[in-house]
Structure 1
Amino acid sequence: MDRIRIRGGNTLNGTIHISGAKNAALPLMIAALLTEDTLTLHRVPRLADVRLLQRILGNHGVDITVAGKRSGQNGRDGETLRISAKVIADTTAPYELVSKMRASFWVLAPLLARCGEAKVSLPGGCAIGTRPVDLHILAMEKLGAEIAIDAGYVVARAPKGLKGGHIAFPKVSVGATHAALMGAVTAKGDTVIENAAREPEIGDVAQCLVKMGAVIEGIGSSTLKIKGVPRLHGAEHAVIADRIEAGTYAMAAAMTGGVVKLAGARIDTLDEVMTVMRSSGVDVEAANDGLKVKRNGSGLAPIKVETEPYPGFPTDLQAQLMALTTRARGTSIIRETIFENRFMHVQELARLGADIQLHGDTAEIRGVDRLTGAQVMATDLRASVSLVIAALVAEGETTLHRVYHLDRGFETLEDKLKACGADIERLSSH
């Protein structure tokens, strides 16, 4: 099992190129199930989750080719996937595949829309909370599907096809919004989705569905109106820049000092993140094709933040922000309102010398003068990168174990940081 070793103390200076967003790439790949034609996706990040989803889609009979580099293209542009679901060979998504990645449950809606039936395993437990699928089921039932739970599987049927309906979510859910969209675009009649999630990645998927022939109004808002069409066709689409990756590297730059340009970052998707960082004393400004981050000379100020659905502060950056606040001059308060178990990084940050007290869904972080290197263990994707941010300033050497969590969501992380001056290397186990 690979490890990452970091020797702290170096400032970061240079340019980091932001990859395509994992949280858009995965549902975009799943959307290919909606058409017999080929969907071509550019700027797909090279991630373990993308590879796993390729295998999951292959189980349904989907052909995926990874295009070679085009002339003038380099590794930072991600990959081009050509996805063809001409024939759906199997409408069952088995437990052994769904249990490895929760997002694979999202195949339920397009399989149901395309084939009139689907049998998808319940995802089971999850390290950062239960994240139930009841809202996915609600959406499909509102579109006329008959749903039963049988031996750990969601069995869905719509033998005469899905039909338009009114879906009002009792709470905001990214996954359920994706499901509702994919179910509604080829349903008979009109659909209204209320209290839809507004994340930019949902907007990106909706824009791609429009290129495929869908009729969607209200993209980017909490009310989506969809006019069902008989079929979708193929399209070509480039994945939106990853705002979570951009925010992560912005915090790494703020932690170490120096000046880092985040090339390709979409500033319009980072408003709240930039507001919080500026309040902590970090200079964040627009640059040509991206964002420039530098920490001013007076150190980091404490902050008070709670995670919220977009456009609020994202839960996917909570752990990284907590790492940053461990060195602030004073006490910071971070409240996690999205996932109930998303403080597992706290104990590992404490191993580096952080002073953090937990009170239910709230963390109280007292800034310390120094962090020191230690052996630490990644517990989930975002927690793992928070440990990298802390290790960049920790005195001595930090070794991060279970880095497969990192590989699920960050493309060539150590290469990007090393290019800006970090002393970081991957240690492969043989």
Structure 2
Amino acid sequence: MNSLTKDSQKAAARVGLTSDTIVIHGGKPLRGRIEVRGAKNLVTKAMVASLLADTPSILKGVPEISDVHVVSGLLKAHGVEITTLEPGVLKLDPSNVVSAHFAEIDAHAGSSRIPILFCGPLLHQLGEAFIPDLGGCRIGDRPIDFHLNALRAFGATVDKKHEGIHLTAPQKLKGALIELPFPSVGATEQVLLTAVRAEGTTELKNAAIEPEIMDLIAILQKMGAIISVEPNRVIVIEGVETLRGYQHTAIFDRNEVASWAAAALATKGDITVGGARQQEMMTFLNVFRKVGGEFEVLEDGIRFWHPGTPLKPVMIETDVHPGFMTDWQQPLIVALTQAEGESVVHETVYENRFGFTEALNEMGADIVVHQSGLASITRRVPRRPLEQAAVIQGPTPLTGASVRVPDLRGGFSHLIAGLAATGTSTISNVGIISRGYELFIDKLETLGADFELV
């Protein structure tokens, strides 16, 4: 059994999934209404932010996903008391924060990259922090150096050891002038979580400005932080001595909304996603309409459906906000296999995000991945190192196959493909999907999918 399967089974167990394999009988449109709660990319960071306070915090809209359980375990290992006040509402009390042994951190972290964001808060509270297993896939290819360089700029000492990285703050951390080489969401979060209690002023240039970042800033401001978001991706943070707990309802999960919208399009279905809001989804909605999908903005959500007319090919370039999110392209590519003509997706944010297309090709898709990307006179996003491009020819009928989930977003794309395909698909390693998709098995049942867990 390899580590990916172990991680998948652990993730499944955390949220009560009884099996790591699902058999889907495809070709049936998904119809109905499901609800989304708080974004994985905000909730887990908001939980970490509670470490910075001297009084308890209350976070609402918390989804039942395995990454929340991972962060809960890490916080508890550091002495944070966590109480579920009602479904989706957590109270986080940091009154007795302590150092955790690296074995505890390693045991709870699994393949999560969350431990690196504990560094700033723990350096303020305890004067030290630890990141496990730097050499393996825990951080993967994502730029950990962005994080470490930022922490060094605040005055932290970084000591690489066999079992991971040990960070210490010999003196109080001080504000710094930091410019990111790329507007990394994780590195921006790192700077925010560290700068709010550093001595003096921090100026962060080339910051990420995703809605989840803005929601984290709102949380920190509620706690007593002083943060100014200025033009041209500049964020200025004036450090304060202490912070108090917050009460906050998390922003909805944009990635989950886009995924269910793509599922409606690929299966020729009709799905209403409760909790979705138009403003944060505008870039996606434009592309969804260009492809030929229809949507209706409701007071309490967004309805997505396939109108029954042929889908149209598109050219997509992923980019940092307000561009088209990298996490949106994977589920949408499944729908693009049914568009009439050639679609091109330029992935400019992360490398190696097209591995999931191999399974789609086995199911009948015609997708060619260009490992070095493609130049085009119509490109708006500048070409970047390590970018790739996928060329999708359609429409191509999909047929059932045996598929193994490789990662979170690619895994949900495989689910969509199985639902859209003719015949039966067996999809294993689905526990990985529970990292970011709340109760997705229950939601599939609500939408009328024909499947069983085995």
What TM-score bracket applies, with the shorter chain setting the length? Answer: over 0.9
Name the CA distance, whole Å, in 1 between partners of 2:441 and 2:100: 39
> Does 2:268 correspond to 1:257?
yes
Greater CA deviation, 88-97 or 367-376?
88-97
> Does 2:98 correspond to 1:89?
yes
Name the CA distance, whole Å, in 2 between partners of 1:203 and 1:5: 39
Residue 348 of structure 1 and its aligned partner are, at CA, apart by 1.2
The 3 A distance-change label for structure 1 pair 261 and 251 is: same
Match for 1:21: what amino acid? A
Residue 128 of structure 1 and its aligned partner are, at CA, apart by 9.6
Match for 1:341: what amino acid? N
Greater CA deviation, 139-148 or 233-242?
139-148
1:19·1:245 contact (CA, 8 Å) conserved in 2?
no
Q: Which residue of 1 aligns with 2:444?
A: 417
Residue 369 of structure 1 and its aligned partner are, at CA, apart by 3.7
Residue 248 of structure 1 and its aligned partner are, at CA, apart by 0.4
Pairwise mapping of residues 247-396 of structure 1 onto structure 2 (< 5 A)? 247-360=258-371, 361-396=388-423
2:331·2:409 contact (CA, 8 Å) conserved in 1?
yes
> Does 2:72 correspond to 1:54?
yes
Q: Which residue of 1 aligns with 2:220?
A: 209
SS in 2 for 1:218: strand
Residue 92 of structure 1 and its aligned partner are, at CA, apart by 5.4
Name the CA distance, whole Å, in 2 between partners of 1:4 and 1:424: 7
Q: Which residue of 1 aligns with 2:143?
A: 132
Match for 2:96: what amino acid? V
Name the CA distance, whole Å, in 2 between partners of 1:97 and 1:339: 26
Residue in structure 2 matching 1:21, options 17, 39, 60: 39
1:203·1:219 contact (CA, 8 Å) conserved in 2?
no
Residue 146 of structure 1 and its aligned partner are, at CA, apart by 2.5
The 3 A distance-change label for structure 1 pair 195 and 91 is: farther
Residue in structure 1 matching 2:129, options 114, 118, 141: 118
1:129·1:339 contact (CA, 8 Å) conserved in 2?
no
Residue 420 of structure 1 and its aligned partner are, at CA, apart by 2.2
Provide the aligned length of Structure 1 versus Structure 2.
Answer: 418
Name the CA distance, whole Å, in 1 between partners of 2:251 and 2:143: 27
SS in 2 for 1:296: coil
* Deviation string, structure 1 residues 346-392 (Cα, Å, up to 9, x no partner): 11112211111111111111113411111111000001100111112
Give the root-mean-square deviation of aligned CA atoms: 1.9
SS in 1 for 2:319: coil
Residue 122 of structure 1 and its aligned partner are, at CA, apart by 4.7
Q: Which residue of 1 aligns with 2:385?
A: none
Name the CA distance, whole Å, in 2 between partners of 1:377 and 1:221: 42
1:351·1:376 contact (CA, 8 Å) conserved in 2?
no
* Deviation string, structure 1 residues 194-232 (Cα, Å, up to 9, x no partner): 111111111111111111111111189721111111101
Name the CA distance, whole Å, in 1 between partners of 2:229 and 2:101: 33
* Deviation string, structure 1 residues 58-93 (Cα, Å, up to 9, x no partner): 111111112234xxxxxxxxx211111112211555
* Deviation string, structure 1 residues 287-335 (Cα, Å, up to 9, x no partner): 2222121222322111111211111111112211111111111111112
> Does 2:82 correspond to 1:64?
yes
The 3 A distance-change label for structure 1 pair 172 and 66 is: same
Residue 157 of structure 1 and its aligned partner are, at CA, apart by 2.4
Match for 2:261: what amino acid? A
SS in 1 for 2:61: strand
Match for 2:29: what amino acid? T
Pairwise mapping of residues 234-253 of structure 1 onto structure 2 (< 5 A)? 234-253=245-264
Q: Which residue of 2 aligns with 1:73?
A: none
Name the CA distance, whole Å, in 2 between partners of 1:342 and 1:188: 39
SS in 2 for 1:392: helix
1:92·1:120 contact (CA, 8 Å) conserved in 2?
no
Match for 2:34: what amino acid? I
Name the CA distance, whole Å, in 2 between partners of 1:5 and 1:370: 19
SS in 2 for 1:398: strand
1:7·1:397 contact (CA, 8 Å) conserved in 2?
yes
Name the CA distance, whole Å, in 2 between partners of 1:411 and 1:220: 35
> Does 2:176 correspond to 1:165?
yes
1:320·1:382 contact (CA, 8 Å) conserved in 2?
yes
Residue in structure 2 matching 1:176, options 187, 190, 194: 187
> Does 2:434 correspond to 1:407?
yes
Name the CA distance, whole Å, in 2 between partners of 1:92 and 1:176: 25
Name the CA distance, whole Å, in 1 between partners of 2:329 and 2:190: 26
Name the CA distance, whole Å, in 1 between partners of 2:302 and 2:89: 25
Gaps of 5+ in 1: 70-78
Name the CA distance, whole Å, in 2 between partners of 1:241 and 1:116: 34
SS in 2 for 1:293: strand
SS in 1 for 2:409: helix
Q: Which residue of 1 aligns with 2:30?
A: 12
Greater CA deviation, 16-25 or 417-426?
417-426
SS in 1 for 2:330: helix
Name the CA distance, whole Å, in 2 between partners of 1:263 and 1:352: 31
2:112·2:138 contact (CA, 8 Å) conserved in 1?
no
TM-score (structure 2 length as normaliser): 0.88
1:127·1:341 contact (CA, 8 Å) conserved in 2?
no
Name the CA distance, whole Å, in 2 between partners of 1:97 and 1:221: 38
Gaps of 5+ in 2: 1-18, 372-387
Greater CA deviation, 123-132 or 46-55?
123-132
Identity %: 38
2:365·2:396 contact (CA, 8 Å) conserved in 1?
no
The 3 A distance-change label for structure 1 pair 220 and 426 is: farther
The 3 A distance-change label for structure 1 pair 283 and 401 is: same
> Does 2:53 correspond to 1:35?
yes
> Does 2:145 correspond to 1:145?
no
Greater CA deviation, 6-15 or 381-390?
6-15
1:98·1:122 contact (CA, 8 Å) conserved in 2?
no
1:4·1:426 contact (CA, 8 Å) conserved in 2?
yes
2:134·2:164 contact (CA, 8 Å) conserved in 1?
no
Name the CA distance, whole Å, in 1 between partners of 2:348 and 2:138: 16
